[in-house]
Every structure is written in structure tokens, then in C-alpha cells.
């Protein structure tokens, strides 16, 4: 019984269809292949039903494969023939030619390197270190795909008129009444920037409905990229110098505060330099002490020769007392014996604190100005520019749409979907019988 089943299966085996890669029509060869596959599907369902009946030991009525024929052909026409015919008519008679202009350029210049880039280069990972160097090319690529470039180009070029040309087919062209978001999505399909990671080269493909528009739009995009790169360089330099200028301004503000406090202290104390005042008091006290010593010597000599009530002795004693009181008053002003807050020592301590803070603020200003000069020098040494590798090309023929490939892809996809659906339905019907 098994041998009979195998022989029956061998007799019913038919050669499968062969589709040529370059075929774009649905001629007699395709129809013959479709009939063969449909016959295989129908007879395979009948064979499964026959095998199920034999395994159950019951005699089943032979299945008439022609009962499913109309359904299969109707489904084939709906799922395969009609889509392929519609695509053939569209691509051959309706679809407009689209021309692609291509340009290639790179973003070069001195930019900030990654921390540890020297170690990466020494370890053989120089590509990672150079990624930061070529990051500007990704900024340019993102700009080409952004709404900003559409707004910038729209000031000089009517982009909607280019992509809504009257001669273009209704499917490929842009609807002039579309929203800005719709036009952005259409723009991203028409303008395709791609970056080569290893070399940092940016390739831009512009697709329109005429050769002139493709070249004109590609040239305008290149000009806008030059402007963006220059703005990027100016922004980088401005950011570097603005930080330094902000530091200098902050240091100058602090210095002005401490200078104002020193000036207020001098006005309050009525002294330009308390340290000089303290030195002057010390010199005065020293002179008074020398005078006091001389008076005491004279008084001692007078006491040896004169009486205690002598006029000269009284004068010398009076001078000694005056000098002693003056020395005591001056010393109290220096040492703060009066504790009234106006002593020279207290003023000197306050002035020293203010003077130290003022000098530190001056040092901060000098350091900030030095850093600002270094930042300006570093910013001026940085350069970013575009290097043109290939100017916008003038397309000689239409590269899009790819009619043969599109029709073949639709044919294969539709036929695959129909085959899956047909076999599934046949299996369900066979199981129901």
C-alpha cells in the first residue's frame, strides 16, 4: 500500500515553474507556470484527502479537482493579475522620470579631540579617536534632513513648485496643499544624505523631476552647508571666548566690591593706609621715649645739686609727667587699651583683611584675563571647512523609478501571497471534506 502511494505521488509530480530574473511581463510562460502550480496545489489537496481516507479504512468518493478550479482562478486574477497589471500600466505609462544629482564632500578642520585620544591611537584604536573629529559631518547631515534647511532654501527657491511639477504623475509628486510636516517627510525621501563612517565623506543624492532642478537644488544645498559650517565655527569660537569673558567679568566684579570696601574703610577711618599710621605712631612713641629718658637724666642730676623745692626740679618733673602721659596715650591707641574699636591695631587688622581680599581679587582678574587670551588664541587656531570631492553631477538619464525591478517585485510578492492563501484555503477545505 505504501508503494502504491509513492507511485501515485510520483505520477502526479509535475515540473515547477521557472521565473526569469529579468522578466517584467505576464505572458504565456507565466500563465503556464501559474496553471502548473495551481494544478499541483489542487492535486496535493486531493492526494492528502485520499491518503486520509485509506488510513481510516473507509472508501471515499474521489475528489473532483475541477470543483476548486474557478475559485483558484478567480483568486489568482484578483491577487496576482490585477496588481501586476496595474503596476505595469502605472510604471510603463504613468510614472514620471525622476533624475538624481549626486555630490560628495567632507568636513575637515581642527576640532577638539577626545580625552585620551593619544592613548587610543597608540593602542590601534585611532578610528575611535577620530570619531569626534568627524562629528561635524553628522551635524551637516542632520541639517540637510531638517526643517531648517527647507526654511533657508525656501527664501530663494520655490521647493514646493519643484516637487509639485505639473508634468509629474499624481502619485510621485507632492501635493501643494500639504502641511509642512508632510513636505518634510517628502523632502527626506527626495534628498538622501549618507555618511561614510571611516572616511567621514558625506554623499548627498537629490531627486527631482528634471535634470536642471536636481542640479540647482543640489548646488543650493551645498551652498547652505558652507554657511552652516561657517556658523558652526563662529559659534564654537564664540562659546570658547564667551566663557573666558564671563570669568573675567565675574573676577572684575569681585575686585570692584573689595575696592569699594577698602575705600569705605579709608573714609571711615580717615586714613589712607593704617599700616603707615601705625608706623608713624611707633616712631612718635620712640621719639617721646628718648625725650623722657633725657628728662629723667636731667632730673636725677638736678636732684643731686638742688633741693626738692627748686624750680628747675619742678619743671623737669612736669616735663616727665607730660611725656609719660603722651606715651601712654599713644600706646593705648596702638594696643587697643581703650577697647573703643578705633584703635590702630583694630584698624590695621581690618585693613589687612580687606587688602588681602583685594589682592586675591586682582590675581583672579589677571588669571581670568590670561585664560581669556589663551581661549581666543585657541579659538582662532580652529578651522572647519568643506572639502569638495565631487560637485553636483548632471544626470544624463533617469535612474528612478526602476520600472522592471518594481514590476518584478510586485509580481513575486503578489504571487507569493496568493500561493500562501490558496494553499491555506485548499488545506482548510480538504480538512472539512
DSSP letter string over 105-162? EEEEE--PPPTTHHHHHHTT-HHHHHHTTTHHHHHHHHHHTSHHHHHHHHTTS-HHHH
Q: What is the pLDDT of residue 188?
A: 93
- Between 324 and 10, name the one with better pLDDT: 324
Give 290-297's long-range contacts (Cβ < 8 A, gap of 24+): 291/323, 292/320, 292/323, 292/324, 292/327, 295/319, 295/320, 295/323, 296/320
Between vectors from CA 194 to CA 193 and to CA 195, what angle results, nearest 5°? Answer: 130
- Between 55 and 183, name the one with better pLDDT: 183
Task: Provide mean pLDDT across the span 299-312.
Answer: 77
**In degrees rounded to 5, what are phi and psi of residue 101?**
-105, 130
What would you report as the CA-atom Rg of the chain, rounded to the nearest whole angstrom? 50
Q: Which helix (H) or strand (E) holds 100?
A: strand 99-109
Task: Provide mean pLDDT across the span 32-60.
Answer: 53
Q: What is the pLDDT of residue 336?
A: 55
Q: Give the highest mean pLDDT range of 20-34, 120-134, 149-163, 223-237.
A: 149-163
Residue 277's pLDDT band, with cuts at 50, 70 and 90, is low
Q: Cβ(389)–Cβ(222) under 8 Å?
A: no
* Residue 400 per-residue DSSP state: B
Task: Provide mean pLDDT across the span 226-237.
Answer: 86
Q: What is the pLDDT of residue 134?
A: 63
Task: Provide mean pLDDT across the span 209-213.
Answer: 89
Q: Exposed, middle or buried, 356 (CB in 10 Å: 0-12/13-18/19+)?
A: exposed
Q: Which residues of 176-212 are buried (b: 16+ CB within 10 A; e: fewer)?
A: eeeeeeebeebbeebbebebeeeebbbbbbbbbbbbe
Q: Is the pLDDT of residue 15 over 70?
A: no
Task: Provide mean pLDDT across the span 417-430.
Answer: 82
CB atoms < 10 A from the CB of 340, how many? 10
Residue 192's pLDDT band, with cuts at 50, 70 and 90, is very high
Q: What is the pLDDT of residue 53?
A: 52
**In degrees rounded to 5, what are phi and psi of residue 83?**
-60, -40
Residue 40's pLDDT band, with cuts at 50, 70 and 90, is low
Q: Exposed, middle or buried, 429 (CB in 10 Å: 0-12/13-18/19+)?
A: middle
Q: Give residue 61's region: left, alpha or beta (phi > 0; psi -120 to 50).
A: beta
List the strands of the sheet with 99-109, edge to edge.
Answer: 191-195, 201-208, 99-109, 384-390
DSSP string for 36-77: HHHHHHHHHHHHHHHHHHHHHT---PPP-GGGSHHHHHHHHI
Tell me the HSE value of 324 on the side-chain side, using a 13 A CA sphere: 9
Rounded Cα distance, 37 and 359, in Å: 97
- For 18, 137, 144, 217, 395, the CA distances from 387, given in Å and listed in that order, are 50, 11, 17, 19, 22
For residue 105, the cross-strand partners are 202, 388
Residue 369's pLDDT band, with cuts at 50, 70 and 90, is confident
The reported pTM is 0.55
Between vectors from CA 154 to CA 148 and to CA 156, what angle results, nearest 5°? Answer: 125
Q: What is the pLDDT of residue 321?
A: 84
Residue 337's pLDDT band, with cuts at 50, 70 and 90, is very low
Q: Give the highest mean pLDDT range of 22-26, 331-335, 426-430.
A: 426-430
Residue 60's pLDDT band, with cuts at 50, 70 and 90, is very low
Q: Cβ(390)–Cβ(104) under 8 Å?
A: yes
Q: Over the chain, what is the mean pLDDT? A: 74
Task: Provide mean pLDDT across the span 191-196.
Answer: 92
Q: What is the pLDDT of residue 426?
A: 77
Q: How confident is the model over 107-151, as pLDDT tens digits?
A: 887 555 444 444 444 554 444 444 445 678 888 999 999 999 999
Amino acid at each position: 500500500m505504501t508503494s502504491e502511494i509513492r507511485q501515485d505521488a510520483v505520477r502526479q509530480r509535475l515540473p515547477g515553474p521557472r521565473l526569469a530574473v529579468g522578466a517584467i511581463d505576464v505572458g504565456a510562460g507565466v500563465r503556464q507556470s501559474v496553471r502548473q502550480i495551481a494544478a499541483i496545489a489542487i492535486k496535493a489537496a486531493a492526494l492528502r484527502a485520499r491518503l486520509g481516507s485509506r488510513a481510516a479504512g473507509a472508501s471515499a468518493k474521489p475528489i473532483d479537482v475541477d470543483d476548486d478550479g474557478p475559485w483558484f482562478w478567480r483568486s489568482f486574477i484578483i491577487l496576482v493579475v490585477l496588481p501586476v497589471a496595474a503596476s505595469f500600466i502605472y510604471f510603463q505609462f504613468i510614472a514620471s522620470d525622476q533624475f538624481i544629482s549626486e555630490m560628495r564632500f567632507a568636513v575637515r578642520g581642527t576640532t577638539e579631540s577626545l580625552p585620551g585620544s593619544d592613548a587610543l591611537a597608540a593602542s590601534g584604536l585611532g578610528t575611535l579617536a577620530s570619531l569626534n573629529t568627524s562629528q561635524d559631518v553628522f551635524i551637516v547631515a542632520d541639517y540637510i534632513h531638517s526643517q531648517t534647511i527647507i526654511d533657508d532654501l525656501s527664501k530663494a527657491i520655490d521647493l514646493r513648485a519643484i516637487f509639485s511639477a505639473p508634468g509629474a504623475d499624481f502619485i510621485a509628486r507632492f501635493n501643494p496643499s500639504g502641511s509642512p510636516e508632510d513636505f518634510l517627510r517628502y523632502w527626506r525621501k527626495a534628498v538622501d544624505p549618507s555618511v561614510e563612517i571611516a572616511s567621514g565623506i558625506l554623499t548627498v543624492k537629490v531627486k527631482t523631476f528634471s535634470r536642471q532642478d536636481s542640479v540647482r537644488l543640489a548646488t543650493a544645498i551645498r551652498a547652505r552647508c558652507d554657511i552652516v559650517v561657517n556658523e558652526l565655527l563662529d559659534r564654537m569660537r564664540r562659546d570658547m571666548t564667551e566663557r573666558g569673558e564671563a570669568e573675567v567679568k565675574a573676577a572684575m566684579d569681585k575686585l570692584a566690591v573689595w575696592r569699594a570696601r577698602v575705600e569705605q574703610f579709608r573714609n571711615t577711618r580717615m586714613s589712607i593706609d593704617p599700616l603707615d599710621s601705625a608706623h608713624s605712631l611707633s616712631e612718635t612713641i620712640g621719639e617721646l621715649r628718648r625725650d623722657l629718658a633725657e628728662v629723667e637724666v636731667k632730673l636725677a642730676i638736678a636732684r643731686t645739686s638742688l633741693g626738692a623745692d627748686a624750680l628747675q626740679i619742678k619743671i623737669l618733673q612736669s616735663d616727665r609727667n607730660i611725656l609719660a602721659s603722651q606715651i601712654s596715650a599713644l600706646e593705648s591707641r596702638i594696643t587697643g587699651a581703650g577697647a573703643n574699636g578705633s584703635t590702630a591695631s583694630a584698624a590695621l587688622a581690618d585693613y589687612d583683611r580687606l587688602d588681602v581680599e583685594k589682592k586675591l581679587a586682582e590675581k583672579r582678574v589677571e588669571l581670568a584675563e590670561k585664560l581669556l587670551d589663551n581661549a581666543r588664541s585657541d579659538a582662532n587656531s580652529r578651522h572647519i571647512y568643506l572639502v569638495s570631492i565631487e560637485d553636483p553631477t548632471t544626470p544624463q538619464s533617469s535612474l528612478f523609478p526602476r520600472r522592471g525591478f518594481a514590476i518584478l517585485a510586485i509580481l513575486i510578492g503578489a504571487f507569493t501571497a496568493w500561493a500562501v492563501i490558496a494553499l491555506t484555503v485548499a488545506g482548510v477545505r480538504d480538512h472539512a471534506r
